A and B are shown apart, each in its own frame.
Chain A
Amino acid sequence: MVLTSRLPLTAVALLALASPSFGQELNALVWCDHTDPSLVAPFEEKFGVKVNLKEYEGTAAGMAILDQSQPGDWDVLVIDAVDVGRAVEAGKLAEIPADQLPTADFFPELVMPANNTVDGKTYAVTEKFGYNTISYDKTKVDPADMQDMAALTGGKYDGRIGIYDYYLPVLGLVALGQGVNTADINAETLPALKEPLMKLRAASKQVSDVVSAQTALATGEVDIVVGGGEWLTAVLAADNPNLDWTIPKQGGLRWAQSIGVVAGTTQPDLALEFVKYIVSPEGQARLATASCYWGMPANAKAGDALTPEQKTVLRWDEQPEFLKRAQLYPIPDAATDTAMQDMWTEMLNQ
């Protein structure tokens, strides 16, 4: 008999402690950019509610938290856009009225109906996007080299490369470098990615999380970060204008995050209002420039609320070209996902 996943008692106890209380409070399970106080403050003020934010990293961790929570514990969920279907399948997201969402104002590529809707019903809406590609210090590397992924493993930049520690985008980039589209990564194509991944690792100095990657690039510890992008360099732009990013000729990955209402919420109307606020031009501008990391807003009208300087850092005017050259994250099935993670772990311990 297959039993439902259950965490050890301690984890349950911890989650119980972390679980929010009810009342005039909205409980949102989010990514770190939402924890910027300036983002939620206008909503709290307008609706007279307190927004409790719990940060998580990785869909598996978010799903585990929801699994261990009671219906009604959480009202809003921010999730990787490519994982919305997975959350819907697990019964974690509630349908939201598409006609109340300003998707007509979105960059067309960011409406993402294939991801945010299931069986014609809308369960989430894209809120922010960006690219996992190559960040670099343009005073230390030849920007022309960064247009070709092959330059990374050609020997010229050995020991000067950092790799962003997230297997999905980096394996996606490696796949693009091998001429494999991210949508085609599966059990058959994955083994061919091992050698180039290990080669990239051999040429790199470190594999690190967001903060460490930023620190390494800012301090000159590494000159290139594979898997980086505007989200990595934008917050550093003011202090170090030499940091740049590009999408090489083989392409880059487009990340996108969606927001939805959690199934079983006791306050669906308030939760929907929060979602609407986040995708409004004002909310989008604040989210795009949130302190944890910057990223492009899905709503094109947010451009009116951003300063010219902010738009320059976000490469606002270059988005049409970037969007053409970027592919979505891989969406592996469970077995391929496990194989990808095992390959990644092996690479870390190479």
Chain B
Amino acid sequence: MTLEAKERRLGWGLVAPALVWTGAFFVLPFVAMLALSFAHMEGRTVVHGFGAGNYVRAFTDWTMVKALVNSLEITVLVTVVSVVLAYPLAAIIAFRVPARWQRLALLMAVLPFWTSYVVRSYSWLLVLGQNGVVNKTLLGLGLIAEPLEIASTRTATVIGFVHFFVMLLTLTIYANLIQLSPNYMRAAQDLGAGRWQTFRHVVLPLTLPGVVTGAFLTFVLCIGDYITPQILGGNAELTLPQLIMLQMGRSGNFPLASALSVVLMGVVTLAYFLSARWLRLDRL
């Protein structure tokens, strides 16, 4: 056996576990789900076949379309707000906090990750409620006369999501910022650029891959999340994952749930292609 053949065999041997894992736990289930999405229900029985009825319904039934629109609106809003909040936080940690304290600062930033996602969501419900911390504080300060309706609204869902994703984005953006050589900024300033110009023309373009990577992860995790809208949104409006859960858990309509899941996956794939130009997963 030639050296090249040996290396090729070794390469396949090393990559095989990952291929098997992906095949068994992603490709096969996905193919099964795709096949199921073309089936339909007769009474309470799944009838296998090849029909596009579930997809037609997904894009013509107003309830389904609205769920998709709700998901997209919430996800885009959460992603934008999270980036806007996480970038300065990451920059402060990377450039303003002394190196020896940066690890502690990052730890503080991700500390909320240590609590259960569900518990955190219910905690937000208590914070944002009519008798919660926010309303009591605002009432106590005399800033409002009546409690604000925050819990069980889209605002509550967005706040819960942003709290979670700012942590994630801070990490990804920080990882990019810390790799940025200070010489770039020094060179820009030597050439007469002000702070804003340096940021706009040097720092931001160089850290854009990290921002887009974090934003993409935020988009993917947010649009597929079911817990936060369920708990904090108070079912005031349905998102696509909630609709999928309703079809599975309550209706037992697995074909429609599968079709909606494929649609959700299509949206994520589209987001990937839109951001692929800047996407640098190796920057994580």
Contacts and interface: CB of A to CB of B under 8 A. Distances in A.
Given A219-B132, A221-B130, A349 B63 contact: yes
Interface string B27-69: 0110011001000011111111000000000000001001100
Contact of A60 (B67, B149, B250): B250
Determine which residue in A221, A334, A346 has the highest number of CB atoms from chain B within 10 A of its CB, and name it: A221
B122 A61 contact: no
Given A6-B46, A219-B126, A341 B29 contact: no
Interface string B4-26: 00000000000000000000010
Contacts of A64: 252, 254
B89 to A, nearest CB: 30
Given A207-B235, A215-B126, A341-B251, A8 B152 contact: no
A343 to B, nearest CB: 10
Interface stretch (B103-111, B182-190, B236-244): B236-244
Interface string B121-162: 010011001111000000000000000010110000000000
Determine which residue in A5, A10, A205 has the highest number of CB atoms from chain B within 10 A of its CB, and name it: A5
B246 A345 contact: yes
A162 B47 CA distance: 37
Contacts of A165: 235
Contact of B122 (A6, A8, A159, A215): A215
Interface string A203-215: 0011111011001
B234 A207 contact: yes
Given A219-B126, A338-B251, A349-B66, A10 B235 contact: no
Contact of A208 (B36, B234, B246, B250): B234
A349 to B, nearest CB: 4
A205 B147 CA distance: 14
B151 A221 contact: yes
Nearest to B43: A334
Contacts of B66: 349
Interface residues of A, number: 41
A220 interface: yes
Given A58-B250, A64-B252, A219-B132, A8 B33 contact: yes
B254 A206 contact: no
A10 B242 CA distance: 20
A63 B236 contact: no
Contact of B44 (A60, A159, A346): A60
A2 B235 contact: no
Interface in A124-148: none
Given A60-B250, A334-B44, A345-B246, A219 B130 contact: yes
Contact of B47 (A3, A167, A206, A220): A3
B252 A208 contact: no
Nearest to B231: A212
Given A206-B235, A208-B235, A334-B44, A8 B29 contact: yes
A72 to B, nearest CB: 23
Nearest to B230: A209
Contact of B152 (A209, A216, A338): A216
10 contacts: A60-B249, A60-B252, A206-B235, A208-B234, A216-B129, A220-B130, A220-B131, A221-B151, A334-B44, A349-B237
Interface of B: 25, 28-29, 32-33, 36, 41-48, 63, 66-67, 70, 122, 125-126, 129-132, 149, 151-152, 230-231, 234-238, 242-243, 246, 248-254, 258
